[in-house]
A and B are shown apart, each in its own frame.
Chain A
Amino acid sequence: MRALKLLAAAMMVITLSGCWDNIDINHRVLPVVMGVSKHDGEYLIYLQIPEPMQNTTQIKIVKGKGSTINHAVDDISANLEDRVDLLHVKVIVLDKKYAEAGLEDTISDFMRGRDVSPKTLVTICDEDMDHFFSLVKKKMGPKGTTLYDFFEKNAGWNPQIALTRVWEVYRSIHSYTRDVAVPIIRSGDTTVVQHIGSAVIRKGKMVSQINSEETLLFNAFQRESTQGKIEVMHHASVLVIGNSLEVHSQMDGQTPILRCKLKLKVVILETKEHPTSDMIMKELNEGLTHQFNHMFARLQGSGADILGTGQYFRSKIPRSELKDWRTAFYPKLKLDLQVQTIIENTGFLELS
């Protein structure tokens, strides 16, 4: 009797397991990069798919069109021999024009569905997508994840690249006090891609742009580690080995004031014309402060708070007023940045 019961259970399990379609991994197409652009109300989707071949991987770029993103992906799926699975998309490349027009719907849809992970990186492409992808394909080696590795922290990431994920963009759409910077790339002359700075996104819309150097300061301000970055000045070039930030916020009536102190630990790599360490420090401090102020003025003009300065006033402004941070307070914000450099060591040589 027990044996019969077991047998019946086993039969049921075996018949049941064929009931719904579980597709094996080798029958799924796993795109790593997805490009999104919009032309005349129609979405254009580019998928970069690593195709496992006998002993190597080939890169395939496919393109689909549709009135929604899913429609476009479906369009691609229907034309491919395997089913397209967006689960492994690691990088989303957005057309610059599309980003300027507003990303809110797309980003919300990514957050809504399970397919695209909220951790997916967002980038903006500064050239025609067709051109970009065809060049990328040409230059990419037999490794499917090149573009992803470019941003991966333990691979090709550099401190002057802003790292922004889908959920952070989504947060910026809804948050009262926080915007994001998204890296801008274009196809490189000799390398696969070239990083040319960061787009400033305000509530899901690209409003401005900062360059690589400024992105470094932005990252430092985010307390992101800027280790390894080489800073070149007139008299020396230094290697940043550590950074920290102290922020003090206060309200002067309706004017928010923020005092920041950025501490950089550096190592001297090269010198020109025998500078003293004081000179190097001074030059570095002034240069960075100037650069930062310049960037902040532009950011303030665009109304996008990518530095997250509003965060420091959460305890000082009631929630009902905080809602209008971007319009009522942010333009009035006074930000005073002091850069303090510590020269950790000077290498094997003494400074003269």
Chain B
Amino acid sequence: MDKSLHVVLMYGLTQLGFIFFFYSGDIISSTTEGHWLAIVIGLVLNLVMVWLYMKGLGYFPKQDIISIYSAVGKWAAVLFLLPLVFFLFITNIITIRAFSEVITLVFLANTPLWAIMALIITLSGYIALNGVESIFRTGVLLAILFLPVILFTICISFQNVDFRYFFPVMDEKFSFLARPPYWHSFAAFAGSFLFLGFIQPYVAYRPKYVLMTVAALVPFYFIAVYVPLFTFGQATASTFKFPFIVLMSTIHINWLMFDRITMFLLLCLVTFTMLFISMVLWKLSQVLHRCLPKVKPSYFVIAIAAANFIGCLFITNWDEIQSLVMWNTMLRFFVMVGIPCSIWLLGIRAKRMIKDEGA
């Protein structure tokens, strides 16, 4: 059973939300010129990590990372999985909270925040409860329904571009590497590829296609950063919290029935993000289920969803989200670099051990 399409779509969709909401803002505020350099560095790091991760996982067919780490020893499981659990948990809270905030900002000014968060978490929880294969299938259906809308809105987002804003091209000092917004921008990559390590026992996929998806997503990263830049210019774009969202609201189309196209892009991205959240819920439930095998995973999903919701309620404003994102930075890099590298090293070790036994 080759389900590469499902896996690949899942991988792509879960990133799109982050790309257009947060990535563009983070990159634009992290440097004033030569944004492409910042994007390329991030993408290369991402590519290397995804490649290492899949290479490492390839040594352990039909195993997920929980059993890989547990096989090495309890210390490894605690060392790697505990930060992972914290990271995923906090990521979920941040994601839910931030997206709800954007939704109230853009089009539901009267709806209380908790109601939106409740909607997002309930739906994601429901998707997660149905199990991983159901998550994938939902992903495919959503892609069929909403990807055309996204592609359409992206096409028309070029309406007001002025390519001369591309200049100046270079930032020789690489000053962005030291700026927190740049670190935050990695949130777009970090959460999405981890699921590849969880699904091995359930679905088969070909690593080649995942790498192709990484390549296929590259234009989206550039569009998310450069179209706002081309339209507004760096000086103006850096004053926006969500440059791409503002950009979409400047698009004027005479022949469309609807007036605010921002909404469609935004909402489609929100649905993809629900998918992301449900995936994270499922991952968390898997890890916890391994720790306490007596409890059914579905109870964990419900418990984690409830905990997430309560966590979200404790965040009172945008600054707190920012500081939480900051806190998560450490974990993020640990998860993003540490887990792929360790899996890869473990894989090499396992291969050598098999060879030794054979010899």
Q: Do chains A and B touch in the complex (CB under 8 A)?
A: yes
| Interface-located stretch among A180-188, A190-198, A298-306, A311-319 | A311-319
In the complex, B250 has a CB within 8 A of chain A:
yes
- B239 neighbours in A (Cβ, 8 Å): 174
Which residues from B are CB-within-8-Å of A318? Answer: 168
Q: Is B105 among interface residues, defined by CB-CB distance under 8 A? A: yes
The reply on A274 being an interface residue by CB < 8 A is no
Cross-chain contact B110 with A178 (CB below 8 angstroms): no
Nearest CB of chain B from residue A7's CB, rounded to whole Å: 17
In the complex, what residues of A have CB within 8 A of residue B106's CB? 114
Within 8 Å by CB of B236, from A153, A175, A308, A314, lies A175
Which among B110, B232, B250 has the greatest number of chain A C-beta atoms within 10 A?
B250
Q: In whole angstroms, what is the CA distance A237 to B145 when docked? A: 53
Residue A167 CB within 8 A of the other chain: yes
Q: How far is the CB of A326 from chain B (nearest CB, A)?
A: 12
Q: Give the number of residues in A that approach B within 8 Å (Cβ atoms).
A: 32
The 8 tightest CB contacts between A and B, nearest first, are A315-B167, A314-B167, A174-B236, A311-B164, A167-B250, A174-B235, A171-B236, A175-B233
A176 beta carbon closer than 8 Å to chain B:
yes
Chain B CB count within 10 A is highest, among A165, A176, A319, for: A319
Q: Are B112 and A314 in touch, CB under 8 angstroms? A: no
Per-residue 0/1 for B103-127: is the Cβ within 8 Å of any A Cβ (1 yes, 0 no)?
A: 0011101111001000000000000
Q: How far is the CA of A119 from the CA of B251 in the complex (A)?
A: 7
A118 to B168, CA, bound (A): 27
Asked if A19 meets B115 with Cβ closer than 8 Å, knowing A117-B260, A314-B167, A315-B168, the reply is yes
Which B residue sits closest to A177, measured CB to CB? Answer: B233
Q: Which of B110, B168, B232, B260 contacts A20 (CB 8 A)?
A: B110
Residue on B with the closest CB to A171?
A: B236
Q: Which residues of B contact A176 (CB under 8 A)?
A: 233, 235
Complex Cα gap A322–B233 (Å): 12
Chain B residues in 8 Å Cβ range of A330: none
Interchain CA distance A22-B32 in the complex, whole Å = 42
Interface check B317, CB cutoff 8 A? no
B62 within 8 A of A: no
Whole-angstrom CA separation of A171 from B260 in the bound complex: 20
Decide yes or no: A311 and B250 within 8 Å by CB, A171-B232, A171-B236, A175-B233 being known contacts: no
Contact with A along B247-288 (1 / 0, CB 8 A): 001111010000110000000000000000000000000000
Interface residue? B33 (CB, 8 A):
yes
B221-259 residues at the A interface, CB under 8 angstroms = 232-233, 235-236, 239, 246, 249-252, 254, 259
Q: How far is the CB of A222 from chain B (nearest CB, A)?
A: 10
A16 to B119: give the CA distance in the assembly, Å. 12
- Residues of chain A within 8 A (CB-CB) of B249 are 117-119
Residues of A within 8 A of B80 (CB): none
Contacts of A20 in B (CB 8 A): 110-112, 115
A323 to chain B, nearest CB (A): 8
State how many angstroms separate the Cβ of A14 from the closest Cβ of chain B.
Answer: 14
Asked whether A319 lies within 8 Å of B32 as measured between CB atoms, the reply is: yes
- Closest Cβ neighbor of B232 among chain A residues: A171
Distance, CA A111 to CA B251, complexed state (A)? 14
- A170-B236 in contact (CB<8A): yes
Contacts of B167 in A (CB 8 A): 314-315
**Which among A19, A165, A173, A314 is the interface contact of B164 at CB below 8 angstroms?**
A314
Interface centre among A22, A153, A175 (most CB of B within 10 A): A175
Considering the chains assembled together, what is the distance between the CA atoms of A114 and B246 in angstroms? 10
